[in-house]
Amino acid sequence: MNKKYHVYGLGNALVDIIFEVSHDTIHRLNIDKGLMTLIDAERELKLLEELDGVKHHKACGGSAANTLITLAQLGGRGFYSCKVANDDAGDFYHQDLKSAGLDSNLHYQDKHTGRTGKCIVMVTPDADRTMNSYLGITQHFSKTELIESAIADAEYIYIEGYLVASPTAYEAMHAAKQMAQRYGTKLSLTLSDLNMVNGFKHELTQVLDGGVDLLFCNQEEALHFCQTNNIDDAVKQLKSFAKQFTITLGGDGVLLHDGETTTHIKGHKVNVLDTVGAGDTFAGTFLYGITHQHDFITAGTLANRAASHVVAKYGPRLEPHHYQQLHAELANLKGSLITS
């Protein structure tokens, strides 16, 4: 039986404010470069004050939101559960989700009093991205924001690993997992960020207990989660947590494990401008591929290409012409894939 949604996602709702900054600015503001750091309201206001006048652009974001938007822009059907406040940023976020073609709990539930979360993304000339996230009301994401009927009517559920930082969101992760298992919805999870792996490994392991159908991570996250310096050892260990998984390797491509075979898909040489959204774009494209009757390698090859497109531009989302190129490339793949 066909389900209404290809993917049901849940994650932190953050308005992304993306700035192009120098290394000196990162140093002057005493920011940990290249990582995601949680900040409080006072620090958020201070950073926005310091960055006032710096070139930037906004979009509704959060890791899982970017993944679901990629899926929708490719033509997939997605539902996104999140929490925003009844403020200007929350209204912007809701409208941006609608414009992207996503269904959401925000369409059916009232917004709450508070402040919508924001992610201050700083991109340096080396194309590295540093994120300082003020969670705002999304830190209170809970089971209340889950729409059980939509989970039941989805092929996959996609859970953002960042949620482990909030006690109520951590409970929601377990509740969503139980709902997915109840209705035969396949479960996918992303480790999200090195800080989440290092700071919340116990919680992530608990969510992974019993296994998931599909796990997304990058090489650094995989190595730290498995406490090894050897990627082959990490692959062996991850098999006990996930039936299938992907490990992105940056410019070196991606490792795909389809449950039986581990395959390396080579990377694409591009002029990297901004790595914001690379992993999210990969996951969204991959989920599109496997929910549209494409095999693991085809989905991984397409997702690898999508990630190369997004790092060659500023911002976490692809442009309309990129989606057209991806569909053209998908039509031309026909099993002729360059792997090693």
Least confident of 197-211, 251-265, 323-337: 323-337
* pLDDT mean across residues, the chain: 92
Q: Which domain holds residue 222?
A: 5-333
CATH number reported for the structural domain that contains residue 145 in this entry: 3.40.1190.20
Short-list 219, 263, 259, CA closest to 239: 259
**What is the C-alpha to C-alpha distance for residues 221 and 176, in angstroms, rounded to an integer?**
23
pLDDT at position 276 is: 73
pLDDT at position 339 is: 42
User: At which residue do the structure tokens 């995989």 appear?
Assistant: 222
Short-list 210, 218, 164, 221, CA closest to 187: 210
Residue 338 lies in a domain: no
Residue 34 lies in a domain: yes
Other beta carbons within 10 Å of 9 = 32
What are 140-172's pLDDT values in tens digits? 999 999 999 999 999 999 999 999 999 999 999
Residue 84 DSSP SS3: coil
pLDDT exceeds 60 at position 328? yes
What are 40-91's pLDDT values in tens digits? 999 999 999 999 999 888 888 889 999 999 999 999 999 999 999 999 999 9
pLDDT at position 192 is: 93
Go through 27-60 and write b for each residue having 16 or more CB atoms within 10 A of its CB, e for each that does not. eebebeeeebebbeeeebeebbeebeeeebeebb
With bands split at pLDDT 50, 70 and 90, how would you rate the model's confidence at 337? Answer: very low
pLDDT at position 1 is: 66
The strand ranges marked E within 47-108 are: 56-61, 78-81, 103-104
Residue 157 lies in a domain: yes
pLDDT at position 57 is: 83
Residue 339 lies in a domain: no
**What is the C-alpha to C-alpha distance for residues 205 and 210, in angstroms, rounded to an integer?**
10
Q: What are phi and psi for residue 60, nearest 5 degrees?
A: -70, 135
> How many folded domains does the chain comprise?
1
Please list, in sequence order, all residues whose beta carbon lies within 8 angstroms of the beta carbon of residue 124, skipping any fewer than 6 positions away.
21, 22, 23, 26, 33, 130
Residue 13 lies in a domain: yes
